[in-house]
Structure 1
Amino acid sequence: MAFATIQYFSRSLSKASAFNVIFPDDPAIPRPWSTFYLLHGLSDDHTIWARRTSIERYVQDMPLVVVMPDGGRGWYTNAAEGYAHEDDLIRDVVGLVDRTFPVKAEREGRAIGGLSMGGYGAVKLGLKHHETFCSVNSHSGAIAFLRSDPAENRKLSPEFERIFGKEPKGGPEDPFAIVERIDHGRIPAMRIDCGTDDFLIQHNRDFHKFLEDRRIAHEYQEFPGDHNWAYWDQHVQEAVAFHARNLKLKP
Protein backbone atom coordinates (compact mmCIF):
# COMPACT_ATOMS: atom_id res chain seq x y z
CA MET A 1 0.00 0.00 0.00
CA ALA A 2 1.05 3.59 -0.59
CA PHE A 3 0.83 6.31 2.06
CA ALA A 4 0.53 10.06 1.53
CA THR A 5 -0.29 13.28 3.30
CA ILE A 6 -2.55 15.58 1.30
CA GLN A 7 -2.29 19.29 2.04
CA TYR A 8 -5.29 21.22 0.77
CA PHE A 9 -7.18 24.45 1.27
CA SER A 10 -10.49 23.87 3.00
CA ARG A 11 -13.10 26.27 1.69
CA SER A 12 -15.41 25.29 4.54
CA LEU A 13 -12.82 26.16 7.19
CA SER A 14 -11.24 29.04 5.22
CA LYS A 15 -7.82 27.64 6.11
CA ALA A 16 -5.21 25.12 5.09
CA SER A 17 -5.78 21.59 6.34
CA ALA A 18 -4.53 18.05 5.72
CA PHE A 19 -5.48 14.40 5.65
CA ASN A 20 -3.51 11.17 5.48
CA VAL A 21 -4.43 8.55 2.92
CA ILE A 22 -3.54 4.89 2.38
CA PHE A 23 -4.19 3.55 -1.12
CA PRO A 24 -3.25 0.55 -3.27
CA ASP A 25 0.07 0.63 -5.09
CA ASP A 26 -0.25 -2.78 -6.74
CA PRO A 27 -1.34 -2.37 -10.39
CA ALA A 28 -3.02 -5.78 -10.17
CA ILE A 29 -5.64 -4.43 -7.72
CA PRO A 30 -8.65 -3.55 -9.86
CA ARG A 31 -10.12 -0.08 -10.02
CA PRO A 32 -12.25 1.76 -9.03
CA TRP A 33 -11.53 1.43 -5.31
CA SER A 34 -13.84 1.93 -2.35
CA THR A 35 -13.14 4.47 0.40
CA PHE A 36 -13.10 4.21 4.19
CA TYR A 37 -13.13 7.55 6.06
CA LEU A 38 -11.53 6.94 9.46
CA LEU A 39 -12.03 9.65 12.11
CA HIS A 40 -9.85 10.47 15.11
CA GLY A 41 -10.80 11.38 18.68
CA LEU A 42 -10.88 14.66 20.59
CA SER A 43 -7.22 14.84 21.60
CA ASP A 44 -5.69 13.66 18.31
CA ASP A 45 -5.28 14.60 14.66
CA HIS A 46 -5.13 13.04 11.19
CA THR A 47 -1.79 11.31 11.88
CA ILE A 48 -2.86 9.24 14.88
CA TRP A 49 -4.41 6.16 13.25
CA ALA A 50 -1.24 5.51 11.24
CA ARG A 51 0.99 6.15 14.27
CA ARG A 52 -0.88 4.10 16.87
CA THR A 53 -2.41 1.22 14.88
CA SER A 54 -1.43 -1.10 12.04
CA ILE A 55 -4.28 0.10 9.82
CA GLU A 56 -2.05 0.06 6.73
CA ARG A 57 -1.27 -3.61 7.29
CA TYR A 58 -4.92 -4.45 7.99
CA VAL A 59 -6.03 -3.18 4.56
CA GLN A 60 -3.06 -4.64 2.67
CA ASP A 61 -3.96 -5.76 -0.88
CA MET A 62 -7.57 -4.57 -0.57
CA PRO A 63 -9.15 -2.37 -3.27
CA LEU A 64 -9.70 0.23 -0.56
CA VAL A 65 -8.56 3.78 0.15
CA VAL A 66 -8.38 4.77 3.83
CA VAL A 67 -8.78 8.52 4.35
CA MET A 68 -7.86 9.95 7.76
CA PRO A 69 -8.96 13.61 7.95
CA ASP A 70 -8.13 16.24 10.56
CA GLY A 71 -11.28 17.10 12.49
CA GLY A 72 -9.58 19.30 15.08
CA ARG A 73 -11.65 19.47 18.26
CA GLY A 74 -14.72 20.27 16.21
CA TRP A 75 -16.82 17.12 16.74
CA TYR A 76 -17.23 16.80 12.93
CA THR A 77 -19.95 19.42 13.24
CA ASN A 78 -20.74 22.83 11.78
CA ALA A 79 -20.35 24.88 14.96
CA ALA A 80 -23.05 27.28 16.07
CA GLU A 81 -20.13 29.69 16.52
CA GLY A 82 -16.94 28.65 14.79
CA TYR A 83 -15.64 26.27 12.17
CA ALA A 84 -17.73 24.14 9.78
CA HIS A 85 -16.02 20.76 10.31
CA GLU A 86 -18.96 18.78 8.93
CA ASP A 87 -18.85 20.68 5.64
CA ASP A 88 -15.07 20.31 5.53
CA LEU A 89 -15.36 16.52 5.63
CA ILE A 90 -18.46 16.03 3.48
CA ARG A 91 -17.74 18.68 0.86
CA ASP A 92 -14.03 19.38 0.83
CA VAL A 93 -12.41 16.07 1.80
CA VAL A 94 -14.89 13.67 0.17
CA GLY A 95 -15.10 15.96 -2.85
CA LEU A 96 -11.32 16.11 -3.26
CA VAL A 97 -10.93 12.34 -2.86
CA ASP A 98 -13.72 11.66 -5.37
CA ARG A 99 -12.11 13.99 -7.92
CA THR A 100 -8.50 12.92 -7.40
CA PHE A 101 -8.43 9.16 -6.77
CA PRO A 102 -9.90 6.35 -8.91
CA VAL A 103 -12.67 5.62 -6.40
CA LYS A 104 -16.35 4.77 -6.55
CA ALA A 105 -17.86 8.23 -6.10
CA GLU A 106 -21.18 6.87 -4.88
CA ARG A 107 -22.88 5.67 -1.72
CA GLU A 108 -22.08 2.01 -2.40
CA GLY A 109 -18.37 2.83 -2.47
CA ARG A 110 -18.01 4.78 0.79
CA ALA A 111 -17.80 3.78 4.46
CA ILE A 112 -17.10 5.86 7.57
CA GLY A 113 -15.88 5.01 11.07
CA GLY A 114 -14.03 6.42 14.03
CA LEU A 115 -13.27 6.31 17.74
CA SER A 116 -14.60 8.36 20.66
CA MET A 117 -15.34 11.84 19.20
CA GLY A 118 -14.79 10.21 15.81
CA GLY A 119 -17.22 7.43 16.72
CA TYR A 120 -19.85 10.07 17.41
CA GLY A 121 -18.88 11.83 14.18
CA ALA A 122 -19.09 8.67 12.09
CA VAL A 123 -22.53 7.73 13.43
CA LYS A 124 -23.87 11.28 13.17
CA LEU A 125 -22.52 11.87 9.66
CA GLY A 126 -23.45 8.39 8.47
CA LEU A 127 -27.05 8.94 9.55
CA LYS A 128 -27.31 12.57 8.51
CA HIS A 129 -25.68 11.92 5.13
CA HIS A 130 -27.09 8.44 4.57
CA GLU A 131 -27.01 9.10 0.82
CA THR A 132 -23.20 9.35 1.03
CA PHE A 133 -22.16 6.29 3.09
CA CYS A 134 -23.30 2.68 2.88
CA SER A 135 -21.80 1.54 6.19
CA VAL A 136 -20.79 3.09 9.52
CA ASN A 137 -18.81 1.93 12.51
CA SER A 138 -18.04 3.40 15.92
CA HIS A 139 -15.44 2.35 18.49
CA SER A 140 -16.01 3.68 22.03
CA GLY A 141 -18.19 6.43 20.58
CA ALA A 142 -19.46 9.45 22.50
CA ILE A 143 -22.77 8.77 20.83
CA ALA A 144 -24.99 10.10 23.62
CA PHE A 145 -22.75 13.11 24.28
CA LEU A 146 -25.51 15.60 23.49
CA ARG A 147 -27.81 13.88 26.00
CA SER A 148 -25.34 13.96 28.88
CA ASP A 149 -24.93 16.53 31.66
CA PRO A 150 -23.85 19.81 29.96
CA ALA A 151 -21.56 20.69 32.86
CA GLU A 152 -19.75 17.37 32.52
CA ASN A 153 -19.58 17.82 28.76
CA ARG A 154 -17.89 21.20 29.16
CA LYS A 155 -15.23 19.58 31.36
CA LEU A 156 -14.48 17.07 28.62
CA SER A 157 -14.83 19.55 25.77
CA PRO A 158 -14.78 23.27 26.69
CA GLU A 159 -15.95 23.97 23.13
CA PHE A 160 -19.23 22.15 23.77
CA GLU A 161 -21.66 25.08 23.93
CA ARG A 162 -19.92 27.08 21.22
CA ILE A 163 -20.22 24.11 18.85
CA PHE A 164 -23.62 22.67 19.78
CA GLY A 165 -25.50 25.56 21.37
CA LYS A 166 -27.22 25.56 24.75
CA GLU A 167 -29.85 22.85 24.09
CA PRO A 168 -28.46 20.29 21.62
CA LYS A 169 -30.51 17.31 22.78
CA GLY A 170 -33.02 16.42 20.08
CA GLY A 171 -31.40 18.82 17.63
CA PRO A 172 -29.85 18.30 14.19
CA GLU A 173 -26.55 16.95 15.58
CA ASP A 174 -28.11 14.39 17.96
CA PRO A 175 -27.84 10.85 16.49
CA PHE A 176 -30.91 9.71 18.45
CA ALA A 177 -33.00 12.51 16.97
CA ILE A 178 -31.63 11.97 13.46
CA VAL A 179 -32.76 8.33 13.57
CA GLU A 180 -36.29 9.48 14.44
CA ARG A 181 -36.38 11.88 11.49
CA ILE A 182 -35.05 9.80 8.60
CA ASP A 183 -36.39 6.90 6.57
CA HIS A 184 -35.21 3.81 8.45
CA GLY A 185 -34.85 1.99 5.16
CA ARG A 186 -31.98 4.31 4.23
CA ILE A 187 -30.00 3.90 7.45
CA PRO A 188 -26.52 2.60 6.56
CA ALA A 189 -25.28 -0.73 7.88
CA MET A 190 -24.02 -0.01 11.41
CA ARG A 191 -21.50 -1.63 13.71
CA ILE A 192 -20.95 -0.31 17.25
CA ASP A 193 -18.46 -1.64 19.79
CA CYS A 194 -17.09 -0.52 23.15
CA GLY A 195 -14.86 -1.79 25.92
CA THR A 196 -16.57 -2.86 29.13
CA ASP A 197 -14.21 -0.66 31.19
CA ASP A 198 -14.65 2.36 28.93
CA PHE A 199 -16.12 5.51 30.51
CA LEU A 200 -18.39 5.82 27.46
CA ILE A 201 -19.90 2.34 27.75
CA GLN A 202 -23.31 3.66 28.83
CA HIS A 203 -23.47 5.93 25.76
CA ASN A 204 -23.13 2.86 23.59
CA ARG A 205 -25.55 0.71 25.57
CA ASP A 206 -28.17 3.48 25.44
CA PHE A 207 -27.87 3.87 21.67
CA HIS A 208 -27.91 0.10 21.16
CA LYS A 209 -31.15 -0.19 23.17
CA PHE A 210 -32.61 2.79 21.29
CA LEU A 211 -31.96 1.05 17.97
CA GLU A 212 -33.21 -2.31 19.26
CA ASP A 213 -36.45 -0.75 20.50
CA ARG A 214 -37.05 0.57 16.96
CA ARG A 215 -36.04 -2.72 15.34
CA ILE A 216 -33.23 -1.05 13.42
CA ALA A 217 -30.72 -3.61 12.22
CA HIS A 218 -27.19 -3.11 13.53
CA GLU A 219 -24.24 -4.98 15.00
CA TYR A 220 -23.36 -4.30 18.63
CA GLN A 221 -20.56 -5.85 20.67
CA GLU A 222 -18.83 -5.26 23.98
CA PHE A 223 -15.32 -6.53 24.61
CA PRO A 224 -12.90 -6.45 27.51
CA GLY A 225 -10.95 -3.21 27.32
CA ASP A 226 -10.73 0.48 28.07
CA HIS A 227 -10.58 3.77 26.19
CA ASN A 228 -7.15 3.20 24.69
CA TRP A 229 -5.16 2.26 21.61
CA ALA A 230 -4.69 -1.37 22.59
CA TYR A 231 -8.46 -1.72 22.27
CA TRP A 232 -8.82 0.31 19.05
CA ASP A 233 -5.92 -1.33 17.22
CA GLN A 234 -7.48 -4.73 17.88
CA HIS A 235 -11.05 -3.90 16.97
CA VAL A 236 -10.48 -1.71 13.92
CA GLN A 237 -9.63 -5.01 12.22
CA GLU A 238 -13.24 -6.12 12.76
CA ALA A 239 -14.44 -2.77 11.43
CA VAL A 240 -12.40 -3.24 8.25
CA ALA A 241 -13.95 -6.70 7.76
CA PHE A 242 -17.44 -5.27 8.40
CA HIS A 243 -16.99 -2.53 5.80
CA ALA A 244 -15.42 -4.94 3.32
CA ARG A 245 -18.61 -7.03 3.44
CA ASN A 246 -20.88 -4.02 2.98
CA LEU A 247 -18.70 -2.50 0.26
CA LYS A 248 -18.73 -5.93 -1.41
CA LEU A 249 -14.97 -6.08 -1.68
CA LYS A 250 -13.58 -9.30 -3.03
CA PRO A 251 -11.27 -11.15 -0.58
Structure 2
Amino acid sequence: MAFATIQYQSRSLQKASSLNVIFPDDPAMPGPWGAFYLLHGLSDDHTIWARRTSIERYVAGLPLVVVMPDGGRGWYTNSADGETAYEDDLVKDVVGLVDRTFPVKAERAGRAIGGLSMGGYGAIKVSLKHAEMFASINSHSGAIGFPRLDPEKAKIRSPEAHRIFGASAKGGPEDPFAIVERIDHGRIPAIRIDCGTDDFLIDQNREFHKHLDDLHIPHEYQEYPGSHDWVYWDLHIREALAFHARNLKLVKA
Protein backbone atom coordinates (compact mmCIF):
# COMPACT_ATOMS: atom_id res chain seq x y z
CA MET A 1 0.00 0.00 0.00
CA ALA A 2 1.04 3.61 -0.54
CA PHE A 3 0.56 6.49 1.90
CA ALA A 4 0.12 10.18 1.13
CA THR A 5 -0.64 13.42 2.93
CA ILE A 6 -2.68 15.85 0.86
CA GLN A 7 -2.97 19.55 1.57
CA TYR A 8 -5.99 21.13 -0.05
CA GLN A 9 -8.03 24.30 0.10
CA SER A 10 -11.35 23.61 1.79
CA ARG A 11 -13.99 25.80 0.22
CA SER A 12 -16.42 24.91 3.00
CA LEU A 13 -14.04 25.87 5.82
CA GLN A 14 -12.48 28.72 3.83
CA LYS A 15 -9.03 27.60 4.91
CA ALA A 16 -6.26 25.17 4.08
CA SER A 17 -6.75 21.67 5.44
CA SER A 18 -5.13 18.24 5.25
CA LEU A 19 -5.99 14.58 4.93
CA ASN A 20 -4.06 11.32 4.90
CA VAL A 21 -4.73 8.60 2.36
CA ILE A 22 -3.73 4.94 2.16
CA PHE A 23 -4.19 3.47 -1.30
CA PRO A 24 -3.15 0.43 -3.36
CA ASP A 25 0.14 0.64 -5.24
CA ASP A 26 -0.03 -2.77 -6.89
CA PRO A 27 -0.25 -2.52 -10.72
CA ALA A 28 -2.36 -5.68 -10.61
CA MET A 29 -5.03 -3.74 -8.70
CA PRO A 30 -5.96 -0.93 -11.13
CA GLY A 31 -9.40 -0.02 -9.79
CA PRO A 32 -12.05 1.11 -9.49
CA TRP A 33 -11.40 0.92 -5.74
CA GLY A 34 -13.70 1.36 -2.80
CA ALA A 35 -13.25 4.36 -0.49
CA PHE A 36 -13.44 4.24 3.31
CA TYR A 37 -13.68 7.60 5.10
CA LEU A 38 -12.21 7.08 8.57
CA LEU A 39 -12.89 9.83 11.12
CA HIS A 40 -10.91 10.76 14.24
CA GLY A 41 -12.04 11.72 17.72
CA LEU A 42 -12.34 15.04 19.51
CA SER A 43 -8.75 15.37 20.74
CA ASP A 44 -6.99 14.13 17.58
CA ASP A 45 -6.44 14.94 13.92
CA HIS A 46 -6.06 13.32 10.49
CA THR A 47 -2.74 11.67 11.43
CA ILE A 48 -3.91 9.68 14.43
CA TRP A 49 -5.27 6.50 12.83
CA ALA A 50 -1.99 5.90 10.99
CA ARG A 51 0.08 6.73 14.09
CA ARG A 52 -1.81 4.69 16.67
CA THR A 53 -3.05 1.67 14.71
CA SER A 54 -1.77 -0.71 12.03
CA ILE A 55 -4.51 0.35 9.59
CA GLU A 56 -2.11 0.33 6.62
CA ARG A 57 -1.16 -3.27 7.30
CA TYR A 58 -4.78 -4.30 7.86
CA VAL A 59 -5.92 -3.05 4.43
CA ALA A 60 -2.99 -4.53 2.52
CA GLY A 61 -4.24 -6.36 -0.54
CA LEU A 62 -7.70 -4.77 -0.52
CA PRO A 63 -8.86 -2.62 -3.47
CA LEU A 64 -9.63 0.14 -0.98
CA VAL A 65 -8.61 3.74 -0.38
CA VAL A 66 -8.66 4.76 3.28
CA VAL A 67 -9.27 8.50 3.60
CA MET A 68 -8.51 10.13 6.95
CA PRO A 69 -9.65 13.78 6.97
CA ASP A 70 -9.09 16.45 9.61
CA GLY A 71 -12.36 17.22 11.38
CA GLY A 72 -10.84 19.57 13.96
CA ARG A 73 -13.04 19.77 17.04
CA GLY A 74 -16.04 20.44 14.84
CA TRP A 75 -18.11 17.28 15.36
CA TYR A 76 -18.33 16.85 11.56
CA THR A 77 -21.14 19.39 11.70
CA ASN A 78 -21.95 22.74 10.11
CA SER A 79 -21.98 24.90 13.22
CA ALA A 80 -25.13 26.69 14.31
CA ASP A 81 -23.28 30.01 14.45
CA GLY A 82 -22.08 29.65 10.86
CA GLU A 83 -18.42 29.80 11.81
CA THR A 84 -17.37 26.34 10.59
CA ALA A 85 -18.77 23.80 8.14
CA TYR A 86 -17.08 20.47 8.84
CA GLU A 87 -19.98 18.43 7.47
CA ASP A 88 -19.81 20.24 4.13
CA ASP A 89 -16.03 19.92 4.13
CA LEU A 90 -16.36 16.14 4.41
CA VAL A 91 -19.23 15.42 2.02
CA LYS A 92 -18.36 18.07 -0.58
CA ASP A 93 -14.67 18.97 -0.45
CA VAL A 94 -13.06 15.74 0.78
CA VAL A 95 -15.29 13.27 -1.06
CA GLY A 96 -15.15 15.43 -4.18
CA LEU A 97 -11.35 15.60 -4.07
CA VAL A 98 -11.04 11.83 -3.65
CA ASP A 99 -13.54 11.14 -6.43
CA ARG A 100 -11.56 13.38 -8.81
CA THR A 101 -8.07 12.25 -7.80
CA PHE A 102 -8.20 8.47 -7.28
CA PRO A 103 -9.66 5.66 -9.41
CA VAL A 104 -12.45 5.02 -6.93
CA LYS A 105 -15.99 3.87 -7.51
CA ALA A 106 -17.46 7.36 -7.16
CA GLU A 107 -20.95 6.38 -6.09
CA ARG A 108 -22.84 5.11 -3.05
CA ALA A 109 -21.94 1.48 -3.71
CA GLY A 110 -18.26 2.35 -3.53
CA ARG A 111 -18.17 4.38 -0.30
CA ALA A 112 -18.07 3.50 3.39
CA ILE A 113 -17.59 5.71 6.45
CA GLY A 114 -16.58 5.06 10.05
CA GLY A 115 -14.86 6.55 13.03
CA LEU A 116 -14.28 6.55 16.76
CA SER A 117 -15.82 8.63 19.55
CA MET A 118 -16.58 12.04 17.97
CA GLY A 119 -15.80 10.37 14.65
CA GLY A 120 -18.22 7.55 15.44
CA TYR A 121 -20.91 10.15 16.01
CA GLY A 122 -19.85 11.90 12.80
CA ALA A 123 -19.95 8.71 10.74
CA ILE A 124 -23.45 7.81 11.95
CA LYS A 125 -24.83 11.34 11.65
CA VAL A 126 -23.30 12.23 8.28
CA SER A 127 -24.20 8.92 6.64
CA LEU A 128 -27.80 9.08 7.84
CA LYS A 129 -28.17 12.65 6.57
CA HIS A 130 -26.47 11.73 3.28
CA ALA A 131 -27.66 8.15 2.86
CA GLU A 132 -27.37 8.52 -0.90
CA MET A 133 -23.58 8.74 -0.53
CA PHE A 134 -22.56 5.75 1.61
CA ALA A 135 -23.21 2.01 1.42
CA SER A 136 -22.06 1.18 4.95
CA ILE A 137 -21.27 2.80 8.30
CA ASN A 138 -19.38 1.79 11.38
CA SER A 139 -18.93 3.45 14.74
CA HIS A 140 -16.41 2.53 17.43
CA SER A 141 -17.19 3.90 20.91
CA GLY A 142 -19.32 6.57 19.28
CA ALA A 143 -20.54 9.69 21.08
CA ILE A 144 -23.83 9.04 19.30
CA GLY A 145 -25.98 10.67 21.97
CA PHE A 146 -23.85 13.77 22.44
CA PRO A 147 -26.45 16.20 21.00
CA ARG A 148 -28.97 14.83 23.51
CA LEU A 149 -26.89 15.72 26.56
CA ASP A 150 -27.84 18.55 28.84
CA PRO A 151 -26.12 21.61 27.28
CA GLU A 152 -24.11 22.34 30.42
CA LYS A 153 -22.84 18.75 30.60
CA ALA A 154 -22.01 18.83 26.89
CA LYS A 155 -20.06 22.05 27.40
CA ILE A 156 -17.84 20.37 30.00
CA ARG A 157 -16.88 17.64 27.53
CA SER A 158 -16.64 19.97 24.52
CA PRO A 159 -16.57 23.73 25.14
CA GLU A 160 -17.47 24.25 21.47
CA ALA A 161 -20.79 22.42 21.85
CA HIS A 162 -23.07 25.46 22.15
CA ARG A 163 -21.44 27.20 19.19
CA ILE A 164 -21.72 24.06 17.05
CA PHE A 165 -25.09 22.64 18.07
CA GLY A 166 -26.95 25.67 19.37
CA ALA A 167 -28.87 25.99 22.61
CA SER A 168 -30.72 22.68 22.28
CA ALA A 169 -29.68 19.96 19.83
CA LYS A 170 -31.87 17.10 21.09
CA GLY A 171 -34.37 16.14 18.41
CA GLY A 172 -32.75 18.47 15.90
CA PRO A 173 -31.03 18.00 12.53
CA GLU A 174 -27.74 16.87 14.11
CA ASP A 175 -29.25 14.29 16.48
CA PRO A 176 -28.87 10.74 15.05
CA PHE A 177 -31.76 9.50 17.19
CA ALA A 178 -34.06 12.02 15.51
CA ILE A 179 -32.56 11.73 12.01
CA VAL A 180 -33.11 7.98 11.83
CA GLU A 181 -36.78 8.44 12.71
CA ARG A 182 -37.35 10.82 9.80
CA ILE A 183 -35.49 9.28 6.87
CA ASP A 184 -36.53 6.56 4.43
CA HIS A 185 -35.58 3.35 6.22
CA GLY A 186 -35.20 1.59 2.89
CA ARG A 187 -32.19 3.77 2.07
CA ILE A 188 -30.30 3.47 5.37
CA PRO A 189 -26.75 2.19 4.83
CA ALA A 190 -25.61 -1.04 6.46
CA ILE A 191 -24.74 -0.21 10.08
CA ARG A 192 -22.21 -1.71 12.46
CA ILE A 193 -21.74 -0.34 16.01
CA ASP A 194 -19.34 -1.55 18.68
CA CYS A 195 -18.25 -0.29 22.09
CA GLY A 196 -16.14 -1.47 25.00
CA THR A 197 -17.96 -2.61 28.11
CA ASP A 198 -15.78 -0.31 30.26
CA ASP A 199 -16.17 2.68 27.92
CA PHE A 200 -17.75 5.81 29.41
CA LEU A 201 -19.92 6.04 26.25
CA ILE A 202 -21.39 2.56 26.54
CA ASP A 203 -24.82 3.81 27.67
CA GLN A 204 -25.16 6.05 24.59
CA ASN A 205 -24.35 3.12 22.34
CA ARG A 206 -26.79 0.81 24.10
CA GLU A 207 -29.52 3.43 23.84
CA PHE A 208 -28.96 3.92 20.11
CA HIS A 209 -28.89 0.16 19.55
CA LYS A 210 -32.24 -0.12 21.35
CA HIS A 211 -33.58 2.83 19.34
CA LEU A 212 -32.67 1.07 16.07
CA ASP A 213 -34.25 -2.16 17.34
CA ASP A 214 -37.43 -0.32 18.30
CA LEU A 215 -37.57 1.13 14.76
CA HIS A 216 -36.92 -2.34 13.27
CA ILE A 217 -33.78 -1.11 11.51
CA PRO A 218 -31.32 -3.94 10.80
CA HIS A 219 -27.83 -3.38 12.17
CA GLU A 220 -24.89 -5.12 13.77
CA TYR A 221 -24.15 -4.31 17.40
CA GLN A 222 -21.31 -5.70 19.47
CA GLU A 223 -19.90 -5.08 22.93
CA TYR A 224 -16.38 -6.23 23.70
CA PRO A 225 -14.10 -6.07 26.72
CA GLY A 226 -12.22 -2.79 26.69
CA SER A 227 -12.27 0.93 27.27
CA HIS A 228 -12.03 4.19 25.35
CA ASP A 229 -8.48 3.69 24.10
CA TRP A 230 -6.28 2.73 21.16
CA VAL A 231 -5.79 -0.85 22.32
CA TYR A 232 -9.52 -1.33 21.76
CA TRP A 233 -9.72 0.60 18.46
CA ASP A 234 -6.66 -1.03 16.89
CA LEU A 235 -8.20 -4.42 17.61
CA HIS A 236 -11.73 -3.75 16.40
CA ILE A 237 -11.01 -1.68 13.30
CA ARG A 238 -10.18 -5.05 11.74
CA GLU A 239 -13.77 -6.24 12.15
CA ALA A 240 -15.05 -2.95 10.73
CA LEU A 241 -12.83 -3.36 7.68
CA ALA A 242 -14.18 -6.87 7.10
CA PHE A 243 -17.74 -5.49 7.44
CA HIS A 244 -17.11 -2.76 4.85
CA ALA A 245 -15.26 -5.11 2.51
CA ARG A 246 -18.35 -7.32 2.41
CA ASN A 247 -20.77 -4.44 1.90
CA LEU A 248 -18.64 -2.78 -0.78
CA LYS A 249 -18.24 -6.20 -2.43
CA LEU A 250 -14.45 -6.00 -2.25
CA VAL A 251 -14.31 -9.65 -1.22
CA LYS A 252 -16.51 -12.62 -1.96
CA ALA A 253 -19.29 -13.00 0.59
> Which residue number corresponds to residue 57 of structure 2?
57
- Confirm whether residue 134 of structure 1 aligns to residue 116 of structure 2: no
- Confirm whether residue 243 of structure 1 aligns to residue 244 of structure 2: yes
- Segment of structure 1 superposing worse, 146-155 or 201-210: 146-155
> Which residue number corresponds to residue 155 of structure 2?
154
Query: Matched residue of 2:105: which SS?
Result: coil
1:204 Cα deviation from its structure 2 partner: 0.1
Structure 1: gaps (5+ residues): none
Q: Deviations over 1:22-61 (max 9, x none)?
A: 0000011141000000000000000000000000000001
> Which residue number corresponds to residue 211 of structure 2?
210
> Which residue number corresponds to residue 195 of structure 1?
196
Distance 1:114 1:182 in 2: 22
Distance 1:181 1:212 in 2: 15
Q: Deviations over 1:59-111 (max 9, x none)?
A: 00100000000000000000012210000000000000000100000000000
> Which residue number corresponds to residue 122 of structure 1?
123
* Stretches (4+) displaced over 6 A: none
- Segment of structure 1 superposing worse, 191-200 or 24-33: 24-33
Counterpart code for 1:158: P
Distance 1:7 1:25 in 2: 20
RMSD: 0.6
Distance 1:30 1:165 in 2: 46
Distance 1:83 1:213 in 2: 34
Q: TM-score, normalised by structure 2?
A: 0.98
Q: TM-score, normalised by structure 1?
A: 0.99
Query: Matched residue of 1:137: which SS?
Result: strand
Mapping 1:7-18, distance limit 5 Å: 7-18=7-18
Counterpart code for 1:4: A
Counterpart code for 2:203: Q
Structure 2: gaps (5+ residues): none
> Which residue number corresponds to residue 105 of structure 2?
104
1:188 Cα deviation from its structure 2 partner: 0.3
Distance 1:2 1:204 in 2: 34
Mapping 1:171-186, distance limit 5 Å: 171-186=172-187
Query: Matched residue of 1:194: which SS?
Result: strand
Distance 2:229 2:150 in 1: 23
